[in-house]
Chain A
Amino acid sequence: MTIDTAPQSLTRKERQFDRRSLLIGTGAALAGLVSFPYLRRALQMKAAVFVASNQRYDGPLEQTIREGLIASGLEPTGLHGKKVLLKPNLVEPSRLAPQMTTHPAVILAAAEVFRGWGAHVVVGEGPGHVRDTEMALIESGVDEALDTARLEFADLNYSQLGWVKNSGRASNLKGFYFPRQVIEADLIVSMPKMKTHHWVGYTAALKNLYGVIPGIKYGWPKNVLHYAGIPESVYDINASLPKTIAIVDGILAMEGDGPIMGSAKPMGLLVIGGNSTAVDATVGRIMGFDPARISYLKLAANRLGPVDEHCVEQRGETWQSVAHPFTIIDSPHLQELRAPGVLISSWGLPKRAGCQLACRAPAAQVGV
């Protein structure tokens, strides 16, 4: 398997710099080095992201996903015999809100692609707001899809646990209890929905991996993570997991009061990439955000992957050609995340919710 989350497009001369030693080198030396544009570029990671437009749930998704994965750097021959865990977003499925959760057609298509390449595929999720995983599967339509395709499902909220050291250390968590299926996976495919998020701006591949954290140990919601800091724990989880890639369901997306109560926004997009940070940066640009202002992407930038537009190589459609700004809640902590010059309407709120930014921190501890 040769999915590469390390710098992909560096020249031989640039590769003479060891990325890790540069990133964690002494502060004074680093500060001096980055004042030179050439060296600053050398510090930045690069990755390819594939964007497909005009996608439909009843369309040829398997073909799109296969082409997208290859275009973004995946080498299929390396997947033979490997364990691939598909991680959709099934946070609290409701038949009334299909824009909240990953569509089963996307999950099935991805499963068929990886099966076709000889991988052992398991679909796994630990819904964040509901203890009844069977209900989450039924309401999302995923249960029927799993049966049809004879796909194995791992209930990540109630699996056997193993402890993994926190490799990110942005939060004060020393490590994570991950489900066995997560620890043993050779590749984790984050399959989020493209959604706004009323605490952190938007959610895609990185934030979706909150769902590998077991509720039985962290609660419903996984409140331990909220207390540790949402952006910090998003970064830490991703830094501590086995290799991850991303397939984002942006066919029917969510805008407004996401990630639960927002409105449907048809976009017709799939965004695919071998580096989740680069994928999330691209998703943000499509949605009208400035990824450099998103708290968890600030932590991930050039540690987990590239955020800078010049370091994300666009394959398929350009993000500019499919961009359509998403409405967001009219609250300062979200409005400041918009990309400069983007004019979009705000999502209205009843009067009593006209909160001030000062209230954000304690409220975030009660999750959603």
Chain B
Amino acid sequence: MNWLDDVVTRLAAADSWGYHGESPSATEPTALSALALLAHRRDQAAARPIAWLLSQQAADGSLGIDAAQSTPGWPTSLAVLAWQAAHGTSLASSKYSTAIQRAVTWILQIQGSHVEQTDVMGHDSTIRGWPWVEGTHSWVEPTAMHLLALKHTGHSDHIRARDAVRLLQNRLLESGGCNYGNTVVFGQQLRPHVQPTGLALLALAGEDDVTGHVQKSVDYLERELPRQAATESLCYGLLGLAAQRALPAAADAWLGAASRRILSRGPSSYKLALLALAASGAACPLIPATQARATS
């Protein structure tokens, strides 16, 4: 059995989907598990995490971080992606359409808090995106997640989606890559991080690279990934490169090494799902349709 078969088999056998080996189900790892199983044609195994997500949707359309915490609602975006991916499979159901509609309505009501622009910070603090927690500022990762949800559900041209694209482009560093969402503070450019860079490039798939910062971000990931051992960063980095049609030839070897590392430590559904999604490359259901068309 190769590493990927092992990972997918373990994921299909899971009866809870948490961040760590023994932890209870949480929305993000459950949604990613469903997406990974669907990516590898394990539809029946995906039915359980998808059903769990449906059971977690609140009256306002949102999903909290787990069954015990109904807020914040940032994982709602990931549930939308899982339900949307199920549409094209044997699991297709009108229940998903209703759930998606309610979730998207909630997503469009949420926006980051405006922060007065000053010359201390380098980014444009007036662009609307999504916060981690309602009432706070817009940051890269929740904005990328919600942009992906809008793109996958046919809202690519919605003004909020266009704002999100502008925000992500604005938060890319001059030298490439991005972090959680600050660029320059007190005159110094901050350091980029692999995971948010990968997620931002994933969400920006198919968008014009007017400033050249997307290409610089691709270059950054190509430099960093060969020495990246951590699972989440490696997987999001590869997904970002796949979305930008720059998947490195060594991807499978890197993922195999990461899988051996986490399997020796008591794997979680979260990391297994990320490995399986990253291994699906350009066919990953997280990659927006515009890019999928371009690569097919």
Listed in ascending order, the chain A residues whose CB lies under 8 Å from chain B are: 92, 94, 96-97, 129-132, 134-135, 138, 155, 158-161, 177, 198, 215-221, 223-224, 226-227, 257, 260-261, 329, 331, 349-355, 359-360, 362-363, 365-368
Identify which of B20, B136, B196 gathers the most chain A CB atoms within 10 Å of its CB. B136
Query: Once bound together, how far apart are the Cα atoms of A215 and B132, in whole Å?
Result: 9
Q: Tell me if B54 is interfacial: C-beta within 8 Å of chain A.
A: no
Which candidate, B31-39, B177-185, B215-223, B283-291, is the interface stretch facing chain A? Answer: B177-185
What are the nearest 3 A-B pairs in CB distance?
A: A219-B132, A353-B187, A135-B230
Query: Once bound together, how far apart are the Cα atoms of A195 and B142, in whole Å?
Result: 30
Query: Once bound together, how far apart are the Cα atoms of A129 and B180, in whole Å?
Result: 6
Q: Is A132 within 8 A of B20, CB to CB?
A: no
Report chain A residues within 8 Å CB of B115: 362-363, 365-366
Q: Tell me if B269 is interfacial: C-beta within 8 Å of chain A.
A: no
- Chain B interface helix/strand/loop/mixed: loop
Report chain B residues within 8 Å CB of A131: 141, 195-196, 232
Which candidate, B88-96, B100-108, B116-124, B151-159, is the interface stretch facing chain A? Answer: B116-124
Q: Tell me if B133 is interfacial: C-beta within 8 Å of chain A.
A: yes
Identify which of A221, A331, A354 gathers the most chain B CB atoms within 10 Å of its CB. A221
| 23 A-B interface contacts by CB (under 8 A) | A92-B179, A129-B193, A131-B141, A132-B230, A135-B194, A158-B26, A198-B185, A217-B65, A217-B72, A217-B133, A219-B72, A219-B131, A219-B133, A223-B139, A260-B191, A349-B187, A352-B119, A352-B187, A354-B119, A359-B118, A363-B118, A366-B115, A366-B181
Report chain B residues within 8 Å CB of A350: 187-188
Interface 1/0s, chain B 19-32, versus A by CB < 8 A? 11001101000000
Q: Is A349 within 8 A of B186, CB to CB?
A: yes
Q: Is A134 within 8 A of B230, CB to CB?
A: yes
Report chain A residues within 8 Å CB of B62: none
Q: Quick one: which of A132, A160, A220, A353 contacts B120, CB cutoff 8 A?
A: A353
B5 to chain A, nearest CB (A): 23
Q: Tell me if B69 is interfacial: C-beta within 8 Å of chain A.
A: yes
Q: Tell me if B212 is interfacial: C-beta within 8 Å of chain A.
A: no
Report chain B residues within 8 Å CB of A352: 119, 187
Q: Is B230 within 8 A of A224, CB to CB?
A: no
B204 to chain A, nearest CB (A): 19
Query: Once bound together, how far apart are the Cα atoms of A148 and B48, in whole Å?
Result: 39
Of chain A, the residue at the smallest CB distance from B181 is A366
Query: Once bound together, how far apart are the Cα atoms of A218 and B231, in whole Å?
Result: 23
Of chain B, the residue at the smallest CB distance from A329 is B186
Q: Tell me if B135 is interfacial: C-beta within 8 Å of chain A.
A: yes
Q: Is B119 within 8 A of A359, CB to CB?
A: yes
Report chain B residues within 8 Å CB of A227: 113, 135-136
Query: Once bound together, how far apart are the Cα atoms of A135 and B72, in whole Å?
Result: 24
Q: Is A138 within 8 A of B230, CB to CB?
A: yes
Given contacts A132-B231, A223-B139, A224-B135, 16 further A-B contacts (CB under 8 A): A92-B191, A129-B180, A131-B232, A132-B195, A132-B233, A158-B19, A159-B23, A161-B69, A218-B133, A219-B131, A219-B132, A224-B133, A329-B186, A351-B187, A352-B187, A365-B115
- Chain A interface helix/strand/loop/mixed: loop
A38 to chain B, nearest CB (A): 46
Report chain B residues within 8 Å CB of A221: 139, 180
Q: Quick one: which of B19, B23, B137, B231 contacts A223, CB cutoff 8 A?
A: B137
Report chain A residues within 8 Å CB of B4: none
Q: Quick one: which of B188, B195, B233 contacts A257, CB cutoff 8 A?
A: B188
Q: Is A218 within 8 A of B180, CB to CB?
A: no
Q: Is A368 within 8 A of B185, CB to CB?
A: yes
Query: Once bound together, how far apart are the Cα atoms of A330 and B5, in whole Å?
Result: 57
Q: Is A130 within 8 A of B180, CB to CB?
A: yes
Report chain B residues within 8 Å CB of A362: 115-116, 118, 125
Query: Once bound together, how far apart are the Cα atoms of A227 and B136, in whole Å?
Result: 7
Report chain B residues within 8 Å CB of A96: 191
Q: Quick one: which of A138, A155, A261 contacts B229, CB cutoff 8 A?
A: A138
Q: Tell me if B190 is interfacial: C-beta within 8 Å of chain A.
A: yes
Q: Tell me if B294 is interfacial: C-beta within 8 Å of chain A.
A: no
Report chain B residues within 8 Å CB of A257: 186, 188
Report chain B residues within 8 Å CB of A215: 132
Q: Is A366 within 8 A of B119, CB to CB?
A: no
Query: Once bound together, how far apart are the Cα atoms of A366 and B121, in whole Å?
Result: 8
B111 to chain A, nearest CB (A): 14
Report chain B residues within 8 Å CB of A329: 186
Query: Once bound together, how far apart are the Cα atoms of A156 and B21, in whole Å?
Result: 15
Of chain B, the residue at the smallest CB distance from A360 is B120
Report chain A residues within 8 Å CB of B185: 198, 261, 363, 366, 368
Query: Once bound together, how far apart are the Cα atoms of A98 and B275, in whole Å?
Result: 29
Report chain A residues within 8 Å CB of B68: 161
Beyond A257-B188, A260-B190, A363-B120, whether A217 also contacts B230 by CB under 8 A is: no
Q: Is B182 within 8 A of A366, CB to CB?
A: yes
Q: Is B232 within 8 A of A367, CB to CB?
A: no
B201 to chain A, nearest CB (A): 16
